[in-house]
């Protein structure tokens, strides 16, 4: 019989690619696992997941539904809820959900991803993940050979060069006073990327399709796609009771959870996987990371259980010697 344990071996906060892959690895290792998921994966605005071998173009939530079904086959439990607070208890952790239930677990894997904040351009959000995009590997092929506008940001030159691989009609729009490093300027010129000193303040379009950018002076320009760079933030509020804080990412455009190479945070028993610890990871990389971290957590539990068994064995041997003498 598959009963709910008082204390799960592992609670996974976040049921995206990373959390599901960790859950499957742990379920197959006969661990009791609960996945708490708020149901908002980072790529939810996109129509399809690209660069995921064998599942190219599948809608993001369909991919996750397949993963959840597989994990359920190994006894993994799911709670459609948001983890809102976490504290230590005698066996590990108590995790409070937004429906006021409390779950207990020996280990936590934080796989809650990051949230993106878009640049302040009026109307942008409606087209985010459609033809307002940031990543050439996610949606670049879909805008190949099109008229691509790039919104200025600290990564705009890099993005313009990346999207130039997909189209020879790439234009970087920037503020009138913006000055480029001469080496950057030369690269843009050499690759035929136009630089236009007009600031984009709004976008227009219809049916999920952005068709125009609007400059500060009110003039509109037709475009096929707009490349932007959001800021990202690792969601750690639920873990603040443990003293976990997000760290500034080396890119300078967001935060993440710092871990060792294997996903262990500085807080004993707390691990992180996927975008939470590597905000640049694609879905397949996040899934691979979840598998790795799930395996590491299983190994950590095996070590704890083996140490306890050895201590019990030795205590038994000592007691037996005591009885004989």
Ligand X SMILES: Cc1cc2nc3c(=O)[nH]c(=O)nc-3n(C[C@H](O)[C@H](O)[C@H](O)COP(=O)(O)OP(=O)(O)OC[C@H]3O[C@@H](n4cnc5c(N)ncnc54)[C@H](O)[C@@H]3O)c2cc1C
Residues engaged in binding ligand X (CB under 6 A) = 13-19, 36-43, 45-46, 49-52, 82-83, 111-113, 116, 129, 138, 235, 238, 274-275, 281-284, 286
Distance (Å, rounded) from C-alpha 166 to C-alpha 236?
36
Q: Provide Rg for the chain, Cα atoms.
A: 24
Show Cβ contacts of residue 5 under 8 Å, excluding neighbours closer than 6 positions.
Answer: 32
Residue (270 or 283) nearer to ligand X, CB: 283
- The residues facing 227 across adjacent strands are 133, 150
Q: Measured from the CB of residue 208, what is the shortest distance to ligand X in angstroms?
A: 13
Backbone angles phi, psi at 44, to 5 degrees: -55, -35
**b/e 161-187 (16+ beta carbons within 10 angstroms → b):** bbbbebbebbbbbbeeeeebeeebeeb
Give the residue nearest to ligand X (CB): 16
Q: Measured from the CB of residue 310, what is the shortest distance to ligand X in angstroms?
A: 36
Distance (Å, rounded) from C-alpha 46 to C-alpha 61?
10
Residue (36 or 214) nearer to ligand X, CB: 36
Q: Measured from the CB of residue 200, what is the shortest distance to ligand X in angstroms?
A: 19
Query: Around 276, how many Cα atoms within 13 Å sit in the side-chain half-sphere?
Result: 35
Residue (52 or 271) nearer to ligand X, CB: 52
Q: Measured from the CB of residue 88, what is the shortest distance to ligand X in angstroms?
A: 18
Q: Measured from the CB of residue 95, what is the shortest distance to ligand X in angstroms?
A: 9
8-state DSSP, 279 = T
Residue (85 or 202) nearer to ligand X, CB: 85
8-state DSSP, 58 = B
Q: Measured from the CB of residue 52, what is the shortest distance to ligand X in angstroms?
A: 6
Report which secondary-structure segment, H or E, holds 135. Answer: none
Q: Which two tokens stand for residue 41?
A: 């994966």
Residue (38 or 291) nearer to ligand X, CB: 38
Residue (36 or 301) nearer to ligand X, CB: 36
Q: Measured from the CB of residue 279, what is the shortest distance to ligand X in angstroms?
A: 9
Residue (199 or 277) nearer to ligand X, CB: 277
CB 77 within 8 A of CB 63: no
CB 270 within 8 A of CB 110: yes
Classify residue 36 as exposed, middle or buried by CB count within 10 Å of its CB (0-12, 13-18, 19+): buried
């Amino acid at each position: 019989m598959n009963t709910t344990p008082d204390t799960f071996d592992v609670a996974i906060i976040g049921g995206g690619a990373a959390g599901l892959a960790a859950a499957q690895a742990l379920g197959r290792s006969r661990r009791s696992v609960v996945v708490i998921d708020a149901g908002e994966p980072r790529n939810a605005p996109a129509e399809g997941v690209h660069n995921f071998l064998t599942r190219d173009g599948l809608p993001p939530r369909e991919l996750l539904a397949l993963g959840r079904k597989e994990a359920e086959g190994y006894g993994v439990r799911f709670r459609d809820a948001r983890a809102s607070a976490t504290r230590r208890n005698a066996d590990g952790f108590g995790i409070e959900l937004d429906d006021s239930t409390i779950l207990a677990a020996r280990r936590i894997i934080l796989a809650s991803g990051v949230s993106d904040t878009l640049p302040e351009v009026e109307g942008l959000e409606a087209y985010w993940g459609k033809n307002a995009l940031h990543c050439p590997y996610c949606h670049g092929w879909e805008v190949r050979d099109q008229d691509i506008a790039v919104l200025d940001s600290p990564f705009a030159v890099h993005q313009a060069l990346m999207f130039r691989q997909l189209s020879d009609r790439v234009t970087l729009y920037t503020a009138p006073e913006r000055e480029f490093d001469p080496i950057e300027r030369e690269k843009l010129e050499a690759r035929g990327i136009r630089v236009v000193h007009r600031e984009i303040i709004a976008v227009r379009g219809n049916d999920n399709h952005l068709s125009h950018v609007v400059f500060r002076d009110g003039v509109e320009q037709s475009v096929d796609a707009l490349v932007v760079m959001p800021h990202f933030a690792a969601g750690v509020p639920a873990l603040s009771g443990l003293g976990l804080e997000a760290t500034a990412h080396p890119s300078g455009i967001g935060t993440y959870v710092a871990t060792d190479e294997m996903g262990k945070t500085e807080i004993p028993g707390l691990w992180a996987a996927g975008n939470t610890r590597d905000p640049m990871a694609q879905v397949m990389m996040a899934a691979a990371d979840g598998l790795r971290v799930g395996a590491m957590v299983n190994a950590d539990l095996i070590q704890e259980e083996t140490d306890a068994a050895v201590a019990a064995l030795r205590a038994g041997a000592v007691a037996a010697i005591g009885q004989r003498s």
